[in-house]
Structure 1
Amino acid sequence: MLEELLIFTRGGLILWSSCRALGLASPLKGSPIDALIRSCLLEERAADAGFTQDNYALRWAFSNDLGLVFVAVYQRMLHLLYVDDLLAAVRKEFSQIYDPKRVCYDDVFTDVFRQLHLEAEARAEAMKKTRQQNTLPSSRAPAGGGGKKPNALGGRAGPQGGGGGKKGGTESGKDDSDSSDSGKEQNKLTNGTIKGHANSLNKDSSNARALVADNGKENGDPNDGAFDVNTLRKKIGGKKGGKKTDAVTTKKAAPKAEPKKNVKKDRVWDDHPRKVGKLDFTDPADERGEEMVEKAIEHQGDSMMDKDEVLSSDSEDEDEEEGEENAGAGAKKKGWFTSMFKSIAGNNVLEKADLQPALKALKDRLMTKNVAEEIAEKLCESVAASLEGKKLGSFTRISSTVQTAMEEALTRILTPRRSIDILRDVQAAKERGKPYVVVFVGVNGVGKSTNLAKVAYWLLQHNLSVMMAACDTFRSGAVEQLRTHARRLQIPIFEKGYEKDPAVVAKEAIQEATRNKSDVVLVDTAGRMQDNEPLMRALSKLINLNKPDLVLFVGEALVGNDAVDQLNKFNQKLADLSTVPTARLIDGILLTKFDTIDDKVGAALSMVYISGSPVMFVGCGQSYTDLKKLNVKSIVKTLLK
């Protein structure tokens, strides 16, 4: 049963609702249509086959020329077959009576919808009966057979109903004979294999007996069956082999001369050599090292997080880019001429075939910028769904229209759906008397500890008290690494060493921060692959036990398709292993090594598209100041350049 059918504009104005028009209260629990708009339409997933929310399934259709959206909601367990047919019919009929100046169609479209609904149900029922009739003979055949209907064995019944199984019986007999012949051949092959193995074993055993007999004769032993290992080695390896073994033993017996160790000389930095001394100043016992630690923050400067990145105004030649698009899509002269013809004629309705060359060029371009192939394809399908049926303006090329639509789609995806202001949230937590807790998670070697220190440095510049929690009790040296950062930044660190439960360590760290009235607790966790079940279970326990305010996924900007797998499985594991009904998933993303990728910025798009979480920080260097915000306009421009 159809729960509701809704017609609204892309601006959000509801023009017609089946429940409102029929005078019924809305039976929908929750807000499945709002979830559809947030998760699919605004995230450029409009090309997906369907959407499910709680117990509901949703299907939709667009009228891009009029800017209308048609959504049908039904119980997901029903699997209604007529929904797509009904949506197409409703779109066709409603488009004929639509007036942009009118905002309510309850008195005009209600009777039309009832008729369309009845017709769609009738067509679906007739189709269902036809399918049942077509599948009935093959699933249940008559025993005696009559007429010329096919029986269960594939033969045809005779004219009097008695010879129905003849052909089928003959064929089954052939099948039996074939199976028996194949069985005989299989037995022959098996027997031949066994005999071959037996012959080889007999041959080896006879060779071994011959060697043993020769050994007895050479040694003059009265027991001819005696076994001598040295003689057997000589028989197998020959005389040269025996000499080699003797040479090896003599070489081993000779003592080796110890090589002289090369002592590293002090480096000379200028024409006047001087004693440099110790270059590592991380040891707190060293007086000079303490001075360097005290001045570590002073020499860093301001963090790049508080600086707005200036986007260069250099614009590329659009004609040249669009020419590359057509050439990459294989359109060449024909594709160029077709697009120009469309633009000169004007008022032509765009069809999917017209969009394919430009979309293929855009897909290839996105993939060269390190966007995952699956995501690039879905984006192009979504853009095609948003443009199909639109009228092309005069002197407007298809390639420029597609590029503009893609630019708008990428901007919507990369723009955060909800504002996450850490500084504001820290102040709110401070008023409640609790520290703001941030947990850093990710795979091995992406730079969690280093970028945690960068975030700590940025928070220190805003006069917030920060404490580090060393919850990476798995990797050797992780605690010492975080301890070094804490000493250089002059902030406290909570540690319990190795082989401890990280969830308990994080809980005790938060309690310690509450007693000391620290504003922020930054929790460092062990790097783990997304398929590591024990470590993912430990991470889920840490998050569920401590309920952090922010879960940051630290990922490399170098990855392409692997970013999709990492984020998918991290979220999936956190959801599956959660002990509470509403599982806590990843809230934001920190991209590292962003300064090493040149224009291959596609990982940012892949991660945001998969998780729906915004990129909150971007690591772009090796010092504490090298942390900045993601410039959405710059990323979009780079992806489409």
Structure 2
Amino acid sequence: MLEHLLIFTRGGLILWTFKELGNVLRGSPVNTLIQSCLLEERSGAASYNYDAPGAAYTLKWTFHNELGLVFVAVYQRILHLLYVDDLLAMVKREFSEIYDPKRTVYDDFDDVFRQLRKEAEARAEEMKKPKQGSQLINNNIARKQGQLQKSRLQGGNNKKSSSESGNDGGDDEKINGHRTKKGHANGNHVVANGVHTIDGRSKENGSANTGAFDVNKLQKLRTKGGKKTDNVKNSLKAEPKKKITKKNRVWDDSPSESKLDFTDPGNENGDENIAVVAAEEGESLMDRDETISSESETEEEEEAGMDTKSETKKKGWFSSMFQSIAGKANLDKADLEPALKALKDRLMTKNVAEEIAEKLCESVAASLEGKKLASFTRISSTVQAGMEEALVRILTPRRSIDILRDVHATKEQRKPYVVVFVGVNGVGKSTNLAKVAYWLLQHNIKVMMAACDTFRSGAVEQLRTHARRLQIPIFEKGYEKDPAIVAKEAIQEATRNGSDVVLVDTAGRMQDNEPLMRALSKLIDLNSPDLVLFVGEALVGNDAVDQLSKFNQRLADLSTSPNPRLIDGILLTKFDTIDDKVGAALSMVYISGAPVMFVGCGQSYTDLKKLHVKSIVKTLLK
């Protein structure tokens, strides 16, 4: 049973609705669809599943891009209605004929919709009947063929006359006796009853033989293999890094104790140490306004000029993919496919996960299909602009990420602001935690570290070193302790000593490690942090999708709370090592919906930046 059908503009104006009498939608499926799917460029999906307490709905939608209309149908997931797609197409066609931008009420469309619904339901019932009838026919044919084959096997040893077999007694095939030379008696194919027989295998209507080896697949495999081989060769050709040699230490005959002390200063003069660190490090990059430069583009142009012939050939192929169409009425999917394929390949070369790139192209195609193309406007330009808008919408945070404001708001409630750093092994959680602490110190915020990585050897000592250099307190309980209890006691200690922020360091764990993921879920449920920050590498491609999706899924499955806490933000590390391969940021934001709040770009405490959306989009599309 169809629960709800809604027609509204892209600006959010509801034009017409249908509700089944006596049924009330539980939750907000349409609003959730708009927020979680349509606004996040997931409109290329076939459907969306909405789960609420006591309700499970499936939502399907279609667009009229020329008029800027959205059509959404809602029905219970258990029903599997087959006519919804057909009904949406008919409603779209009929409503577009009576649509007037000046009108806001369409009560006269009720009767039209009832008729369309009856037609769609009747058509769905008719589609079921032929399937049942064809199944019976196929069963009868299979049974008769089996009987005929059995009778042929029984009479296969009996000789038949040429008049009975319909043959002249030569070496040609016998139609009734089926004595053939695999269809190659005279070097020609055998045709019987409209079926071509080649080597004993049937081929109808000239279609390709499904039993034969597909040469196209072999070519694709060779192409993929070639790409991998090229990548391996390129990696092998990379110049080796220069080996850093250790400088010899000069020992005096009677060295003083101060010369033998190569460790960091102690805690005796805390204020002086803070001043020394600040003088060495300087201002954090978080507080600097980054200007988008075109240095990378200039370098690319210089490299392109070194090989004019190859670049000319590349540009010729690229321009052939984008043909200028003057005065075309409406764009269809066939027009968009070449441009979208080129964009997908470009995104994948920038380290965007293949699955994400494909979904993005499908979403852009859904938003452009049926749209009018102005005269002397290239399809490439239209698709490029559509993709740019989509990327900006995805990467732009949908909520405030001003941590300083949130810290002051929490401070007024007389409790510390708690940040938990999570992520897989070796991504740099402790180092970037220290960078965040340094940035907060520059804004006169009292910070305390909590060493809750009680699993990895040396983790507590590493965090203790950062705390000593920054001259901030650290709460630790050693190893083999419950990290959830250590975090709870650290928050209590921060409340007593008046700390504004508690930065909780956790152990690195793979997304498939259930014991450690269960411990992390317990830590989050027990302490209810203000921010759960996922620390990920900018080097990953497809792994980013797997890491984030499984982290969120594990936190949801292992949580004991009815409303499980998921990842709130992303800290992207090693951003200075990827050149223009910035696709991991897009993949992580797309799969989780969480914004990139920090970007790590070096080893010093100041190397922490904000993510500039326009710069990332420009890099992805250039």
Same fold? TM cut 0.5: yes
For residues 167-316 of structure 1, the aligned pairs below 5 Å read: 167=151, 265-266=248-249, 277-278=259-260, 280-282=262-264, 284=266, 295-312=276-293
1:333–1:638 Cα change, 3 Å? closer
- Partners of 2:311 and 2:562 in 1: how far apart? 48
Identity value in percent: 73
- SS of equivalent residue, structure 2 residue 6: strand
Which amino acid counterpart does residue 548 of structure 1 have in structure 2? P
For residues 81-120 of structure 1, the aligned pairs below 5 Å read: 81-106=82-107, 108-120=108-120
Which of 592, 612, 617 aligns to 2:593? It is 612
- SS of equivalent residue, structure 1 residue 376: helix
- CA distances 1:432-469 after superposition (whole Å, capped 9, x unpaired): 22111100000111110011011111111222111100
1:333–1:373 Cα change, 3 Å? closer
- Give the superposition deviation at 1:266: 2.3
- CA distances 1:63-99 after superposition (whole Å, capped 9, x unpaired): 1111111000000110000000000001111111111
Contact 1:619 1:628 in 2 (8 A): yes
Which of 336, 352, 365 aligns to 1:355? It is 336
Residues 1:31 and 2:13 are matched in the alignment: no
Residues 1:40 and 2:30 are matched in the alignment: no
- Partners of 2:312 and 2:83 in 1: how far apart? 39
- SS of equivalent residue, structure 1 residue 59: strand
- Partners of 2:311 and 2:7 in 1: how far apart? 36
- Give the superposition deviation at 1:133: 3.0
Which amino acid counterpart does residue 74 of structure 2 have in structure 1? V
- Partners of 1:619 and 1:369 in 2: how far apart? 19
Contact 1:4 1:72 in 2 (8 A): yes
- Partners of 1:58 and 1:608 in 2: how far apart? 23
Which amino acid counterpart does residue 30 of structure 2 have in structure 1? I
Length, aligned pairs only: 516
Which of 549, 552, 568 aligns to 1:571? It is 552
Which amino acid counterpart does residue 522 of structure 2 have in structure 1? K
Contact 2:599 2:609 in 1 (8 A): yes
| Residue matched to 1:587 | 568
| Residue matched to 2:2 | 2
- SS of equivalent residue, structure 1 residue 18: strand
- CA distances 1:1-52 after superposition (whole Å, capped 9, x unpaired): 0001111111111111113xx8x57721111111111111111111111101
- Partners of 1:153 and 1:431 in 2: how far apart? 85
Residues 1:71 and 2:54 are matched in the alignment: no
- CA distances 1:302-351 after superposition (whole Å, capped 9, x unpaired): 2111222122378979xx99xx9997699567545xx22x13xx142111
- Partners of 1:289 and 1:511 in 2: how far apart? 24
For residues 217-616 of structure 1, the aligned pairs below 5 Å read: 265-266=248-249, 277-278=259-260, 280-282=262-264, 284=266, 295-312=276-293, 335-336=321-322, 339-340=323-324, 342-343=325-326, 346-616=327-597
- Of 75-84 and 592-601, deviating more is 592-601
- Partners of 1:290 and 1:36 in 2: how far apart? 53
Q: Which blocks of at least 5 consecutive residues in structure 1 are unaligned?
A: 140-148, 158-164, 172-262, 269-273
1:47–1:454 Cα change, 3 Å? same
- SS of equivalent residue, structure 2 residue 293: coil
- CA distances 1:552-582 after superposition (whole Å, capped 9, x unpaired): 0001111111111111111111111111121
1:150–1:478 Cα change, 3 Å? same
Contact 2:395 2:586 in 1 (8 A): yes
Which amino acid counterpart does residue 297 of structure 1 have in structure 2? A
Question: Under a length normalisation based on structure 2, what TM-score does the superposition of the two structures give?
Answer: 0.77
Contact 2:454 2:460 in 1 (8 A): yes
1:328–1:608 Cα change, 3 Å? farther
| Residue matched to 1:133 | 133
- Give the superposition deviation at 1:289: 11
- Partners of 2:395 and 2:82 in 1: how far apart? 36
- Bigger Rg over Cα: 1
Which amino acid counterpart does residue 90 of structure 1 have in structure 2? V
Q: Which blocks of at least 5 consecutive residues in structure 2 are unaligned?
A: 156-245, 305-309
- Partners of 2:39 and 2:608 in 1: how far apart? 29
- SS of equivalent residue, structure 1 residue 440: strand
Contact 2:265 2:273 in 1 (8 A): no
1:288–1:16 Cα change, 3 Å? closer
1:169–1:465 Cα change, 3 Å? farther
- Partners of 1:129 and 1:508 in 2: how far apart? 68
Contact 2:321 2:339 in 1 (8 A): no
Contact 2:273 2:471 in 1 (8 A): no
- Of 123-132 and 576-585, deviating more is 123-132
- CA distances 1:479-529 after superposition (whole Å, capped 9, x unpaired): 011111111111110000011111111111111111112111100001111
Contact 1:335 1:357 in 2 (8 A): yes
For residues 130-169 of structure 1, the aligned pairs below 5 Å read: 130-136=130-136, 149-150=140-141, 155-156=146-147, 167=151
